[in-house]
Amino acid sequence: MSTLNRTTLFPALAALLIPAAIGMVFFYAPLERTMGSVQKIFYFHLPLAFSAFLSFTVACIAGIMYLRKRQRIWDARLAASIEIGVVFTTLVLITGSLWGKPIWNTYWTWDPRLTTSLILWFIFASCLILRSAIDEEGKRATFSAVMAIIGFIDVPIVFLSARLWRSIHPTVIRTDSIGLESSMIVTLLVSMTAMLIFWVGLYKFRVALHLQEAKVNDLQTDGIR
């Protein structure tokens, strides 16, 4: 497969699947009996949350690999996954608040799941600020890697928070235990697939962009010398 095809494959698939997923959410999946139309946020909220967790998992792995190998590619993967993770976590918090307002009668409550998710956002948003504040490439990559590894500790805490502490946040264990109809399950799977394919395309684009920026910086540095 050519480089062009590899570059455009995932964006092209995402461009097809995302509209299909949105159409299924609004026209195929039935209304939930208790929550009504607001429950459809679930089909966006859960895939975003899963993709955010994936981002921070990749960031942790990239951080470990950078500390071991000191290769620029791992720092690029680290930076790309943190950026995407912060954006997706922001969308998770927004969609969760919009979902919570009609159900809990408030946009925000200091529920364990919400609180630990907000902490996760602050950790990795701070990592982005740290990266922008350090000019020296090696030091920036090292500090970012350490922070990503430590910050990842909060990912399983967020996932388990609704189970470990008293929480009003719903806990999804099995689809048959939460009353999802087959059409709802199919819609959720399509939404998850579309979001993951979009994630991969965005991740590959951001990694390539970081590597190109690093090469430009190298050329500028050589020119100054």
In the block, which residue shows the tokens 């929480």?
A: 167
Q: CA 210, 124, 59 angle in degrees (round to 5)?
A: 55
Measuring CA to CA, which residue among 16, 23, 127 is closest to residue 79? 127
Query: Is 100 or 153 the better-scoring residue by pLDDT?
Result: 153
pLDDT tens digits, 32-90: 888 888 889 999 999 999 999 999 999 999 999 999 999 999 999 999 999 999 999 99
- Of all helices (H) and strands (E), which one includes residue 172? none
Neighbours of 95 (CB within 10 A): 18
Confidence of residue 5 (pLDDT cuts 50, 70, 90): low
Q: How much is the average pLDDT of 142-153?
A: 96
Residue 93 has pLDDT above 80, yes or no: yes
For 36, phi and psi rounded to 5 degrees? Answer: 75, -145
Q: What is the pLDDT of residue 222?
A: 65
**Residues with Cβ < 8 Å from 36, sequence gap 6 or more?**
none
CA distance 189 to 196: 10
CA separation for the pair 42, 125 (Å, rounded):
24
Read off the pLDDT band of 103 (50, 70, 90). Answer: confident
